[in-house]
Amino acid sequence: MYRLEPILRPMVWGSELWVLSGYPERLSTVADGPCKGLTINELIAKEKERLVGSKVYAEFGDEFPLLVKFLDVHDALSIQVHPSEEFAQERQGLHGKTEMWYVIRAEEGTELMAGFSREITPEEYVRRVSDGTITDVIAHHKVKAGDVFFIPTGRVHALLKGSYIAEIQQTSDSTYRIWDYNRPGLDGKLRPLHTELAKEALDYKVYPDYRTHYEASKDADVQLVSCKYFTTSVIDLQKPFCKDLSQIDSFLIVMCLEGSATLETQDCTEQIAADECILVPASADKIEFLPGSEGFKALLSHV
């Protein structure tokens, strides 16, 4: 198993802690052990299928396909949309960005934005960006700990102040900024908007529900999201739990949300606590979680 050095990014709205990143400009490095100092992509080049699995290695080679973060949100993020894989490749030669959010905690009354509240035309979108009323047609959702939102490409979205979020996404920074409240960035300059790109990338359809619904269960592996790019589940443990990994042919990311645990595979043992991440190689047949006295809650993700 591998522990990675976290990367802290101060943002105009708060901060991001990148706990596992294959993004070229901010590559995670191994924190300890014989491979200490290797970037995640160098580790893949060394371990290949043993680390990521045969199907993942065949598709992505030495590139790690997911990026996972903790977001500490003190002010509203810009309103954004992410392009599809096809759109981003065609326009910029980059990956698209499908992502999900898990709300770890939220202040009373905290909201986020996801999806349109009513159908608008591309022309109305452009007008509302120019006059600053785009937020009037975006759906607002009150949130609490445990809420999940899947953000497919094309969906307008923004986190608002007062939440602490786990985010899992494709390895990509393909983001089209729609509206940023006319505020300066950390450099004192207004951040650019990507009005025309967003106009083409947006999904203007209105959907009946933008939340991801699931039934929480103690001491069980509860699936939250399964899409082409990642599958994520949540575990909330008070007693030991064993997960069979023999059939997934993929690495497993363990992202600790609360508490602590000892993780055991056939080869090694690691400790994990809140805001930490452990990468379990595809060569592991199973993993056992031994929760600490305060319990253990984590997201588990694989491709």
Based on the fold, state whether residues 73 and 45 are members of the same structural domain: yes
Q: What is the number of structural domains in the chain?
A: 2
- Specify the pLDDT at position 92: 86
Q: What angle do CA 266, 7, 259 make, to 5 degrees?
A: 50
Q: Which of 153, 145, 165 is nearest to 11 (CA)?
A: 165
pLDDT (tens, 9 = 90+) of the chain, 303 residues, equals 999 999 999 999 999 999 999 999 999 999 999 999 999 999 999 999 999 999 999 999 999 999 999 999 999 999 999 999 999 999 888 899 999 999 999 999 999 999 999 999 999 999 999 999 999 999 999 999 999 999 999 999 999 999 999 999 999 989 999 999 999 989 999 999 999 999 999 999 999 999 999 999 999 999 999 999 999 999 999 999 999 999 999 999 999 999 999 999 998 999 999 999 999 999 999 999 999 999 999 999 999
Question: Does 110 reside within a domain?
Answer: yes
Cβ contact 45:62 at 8 Å: yes
Final residue belonging to a domain, choices 201, 236, 271: 201
**What CATH number does the domain containing 259 carry?**
2.60.120.10
Question: Does 216 reside within a domain?
Answer: no
pTM confidence score? 0.96
Q: Which two tokens stand for residue 32?
A: 């300890």
Catalytic, out of 50, 155, 177, 211: 177
Based on the fold, state whether residues 48 and 83 are members of the same structural domain: yes
The H or E element spanning position 175 is: none
Based on the fold, state whether residues 146 and 187 are members of the same structural domain: yes
Based on the fold, state whether residues 258 and 156 are members of the same structural domain: no
- Specify the pLDDT at position 94: 87
CA distance 149 to 160: 14
Based on the fold, state whether residues 100 and 185 are members of the same structural domain: yes
Based on the fold, state whether residues 243 and 186 are members of the same structural domain: no
Question: Does 12 reside within a domain?
Answer: yes
Question: Does 245 reside within a domain?
Answer: yes
Based on the fold, state whether residues 85 and 175 are members of the same structural domain: yes
Question: Does 191 reside within a domain?
Answer: yes
Based on the fold, state whether residues 185 and 229 are members of the same structural domain: no
Which residues span the domain enclosing 228?
Answer: 221-302
- Specify the pLDDT at position 93: 87
Q: Note if 155 is an active site residue.
A: no
